[in-house]
Amino acid sequence: MKLSAREADGAMVVRVEESRIDAAVAIQFKDAMREMTQAARGRVVLDLARVGFIDSSGLGAIVSVLKFLAPDRRLELAALGPNVERVFRLTRMNEVFRILPESPGALAKDDG
Amino acid sequence: MPAPTDTGTRLDLRFEAEPFAVRRALCRTVATFAGRIGEAAAGALELALAEVLNNIVIHAYGGDGGSISLSIEFRADALHCRICDAGRAIPGGAPPSVGPDTDPAGQPALREGGWGWQILRKLAEDLTYERAGGENRLTFRIATMG
């Protein structure tokens, strides 16, 4: 499971670089997130802009990340497409997570 | 895998009860119907099927593999889905009723699983389950309008 991390707006922003978080990769996603967020302090934003599909296994993995980051670190979600938003809405997990329309810093001009 | 038949309005697939085979079947299904039913209905179809198929992989076959057959027919503003497997019957002989999705304080229950049937019941219409001839047979419809 390929993830990338950067800092923006005082948060660690972790972008999922794959198109699906489904039953085939849910455990790898959880393990990769655990490793990626070891150094995180404070907010962690999961950027789902590149993810087109999440099933309940993937959703469960995201909830488990929320749990293992708590209580010191908070997991937020960003850039949900319509298919991803649907699974959060149907399970009411959209009421549990703070969901940002855009990934932090995603609209910023490139300074380099 | 035998060659699937695919006439555009109907798709019949048979595949192994294994997560990556399920993923391929879902992608094939979406590719077949998305242009006809729109992105929203295709997304609902993919999610509903994923929950059924994951349940078969994990519960009916217990992770040991087996065969799944999937038929989808597009007619009369709905996708008519039928999924068969030769795994264990659903306990109680019926899809589980879905418990409350809130905790006693009225907040959404923060769990890591058990959403499969809840999602399916919210997306699917006329869900039926039958155990016959050593097979589980599940049918439902996904509306493509409204």
With CB atoms and an 8 Å threshold, state whether B108 touches A95: yes
Is residue A96 included in any domain, yes or no?
A: yes
Note whether residue A109 is domain-resident: no
Banded model confidence at residue B129, pLDDT cuts 50, 70, 90: very high
What are B48-90's pLDDT values in tens digits? 999 999 999 999 999 999 999 999 999 888 999 999 999 999 9
Residue B71 to residue B11: CA distance in whole angstroms = 6
For chains A and B, count residue pairs whose Cβ atoms are closer than 8 Å: 78
> Residue A12: inside a domain, yes or no?
yes
ipTM > 0.95 (yes/no) = no
Task: Assign residue B46 the CATH number of its domain.
Answer: 3.30.565.10
**What pLDDT does B114 receive?**
81
Q: Would you tell me how many other CB atoms lie within 10 Å of the CB of residue A18?
A: 15
Classify each residue of A49-62 as buried b or exposed e, where b means 16 or more C-beta atoms within 10 Å of its C-beta: eebbbbbbbbbbbb
The residue-averaged pLDDT of B36-56 equals 96
Domain of A45? 3-100
Cα separation of B45 and A39, whole Å?
Answer: 39
Does residue A94 lie within any of the structural domains? yes
Min Cα separation A19/chain B (Å): 12
Say yes or no: A96 contacts chain B, CB-CB below 8 A. Answer: yes
Measured in angstroms, the CA of B143 and the nearest CA of chain A are apart by 15
Q: What is the mean pLDDT of chain B?
A: 90
Question: pLDDT grade, residue A111 (50/70/90)?
Answer: very low
- Helix and strand tally (H, E) in chain A? 3, 7
CATH of the domain at A36: 3.30.750.24
Task: Please report whether residue A76 resides in a domain.
Answer: yes
The answer to whether position A71 is within a domain reads: yes
Chain B within 8 Å of A1 (Cβ-Cβ)? no
Search chain B and give the residue with CA nearest A85: B43
Indicate whether A92 pLDDT > 80.
yes
**Is residue A44 domain-resident?**
yes
Residue A106 lies in a domain: no
Name the domain count of chain A: 1
Q: Taking the model in full, what pTM does it have?
A: 0.91
Greater confidence (B111 vs A96) lies with A96
pLDDT score of B76: 81
Which residue range(s) make up the domain with B78? 5-143
A22, A61, A96: residue with CB nearest B23: A22
In which band, very low, low, confident or very high, does the pLDDT at B100 lie, cut at 50, 70 and 90? low
